[in-house]
C-alpha cells in the first residue's frame, strides 16, 4: 500500500518566498534563498472548468514540510545556485524534491505532466 503526503491542520508559512521571475514555463514559484543562492520549486495546478494546467508556487503547508525535512539542507547545497543573467534560479518540481528527500509523495492525478527528472 502506498502512503501519500498529508498536510497538517495548522501551519505557518515561515520558509520560502513567492517569487515572480516571468519564466517561460511558470510565473510564480516558491523560492528558498540563503547566502546569495536560491532554489525555485513549482507545483502543477489544475482548473477543472476548462481542463487547463499551470505551474505555480508550492502549497504553504508543503513548503514548510520540505524546508523542515532533515535532508533539505544537503539538497539545497547541491542544487541551489546564484541568479543567472535572466533572473532565474535553478527550478525543480515539488515531486522531484520530495522524491530526492524520500518524503511521502503527493497523490498522482491523471492530469499531471512530468519533466524528465532534470531541472527546468
3-state secondary structure the chain: CCCCCCCCCCCCCCCCEEECCCCCCECCEEEEEECCEEEEEEEEEEECCCCEEEEECCCHHHHHHHHCCCCHHHHHHHHCECCCCCCCCCEEEHHHHHHHCCCCCCCCCCCCCCCCCCCC
Q: Are 8 and 61 in contact (CB under 8 A)?
A: yes
- In this predicted structure, the answer to whether residue 115 has a pLDDT above a threshold of 70 is no
**d(Cα 17, Cα 23) in Å, to the nearest integer?**
16
Question: Which of the four pLDDT bands, split at 50, 70 and 90, describes residue 105?
Answer: confident
Best CA proximity match to 24, nearest among 55, 59, 47 = 55
Mean pLDDT of the chain: 85
For residue 1, the model assigns a pLDDT of 43
For residue 57, the model assigns a pLDDT of 93
For residue 110, the model assigns a pLDDT of 85
pLDDT in tens, 32-80: 999 999 999 999 999 999 989 999 999 888 898 999 999 999 999 999 9
- In this predicted structure, the answer to whether residue 2 has a pLDDT above a threshold of 70 is no
pLDDT, mean of residues 75-98: 92
Segments making up each domain of the chain, as ranges: 17-100
| Burial environment of residue 6 by CB neighbours within 10 A (0 to 12, 13 to 18, 19 or more) | exposed
Amino acid at each position: 500500500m502506498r502512503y501519500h503526503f498529508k498536510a497538517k491542520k495548522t501551519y505557518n508559512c515561515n520558509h520560502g518566498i513567492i517569487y515572480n521571475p516571468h519564466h517561460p514555463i511558470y510565473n510564480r514559484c516558491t523560492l528558498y534563498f540563503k547566502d546569495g543562492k536560491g532554489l525555485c520549486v513549482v507545483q502543477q495546478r489544475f482548473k477543472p472548468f476548462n481542463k487547463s494546467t499551470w505551474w505555480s508556487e508550492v502549497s504553504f503547508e508543503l513548503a514548510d514540510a520540505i524546508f523542515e525535512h532533515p535532508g533539505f539542507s544537503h539538497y539545497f547545497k547541491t542544487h541551489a545556485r546564484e541568479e543567472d543573467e535572466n533572473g532565474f534560479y535553478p527550478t525543480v518540481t515539488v515531486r522531484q524534491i520530495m522524491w530526492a528527500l524520500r518524503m511521502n509523495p503527493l497523490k498522482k492525478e491523471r492530469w499531471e505532466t512530468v519533466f524528465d527528472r532534470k531541472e527546468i
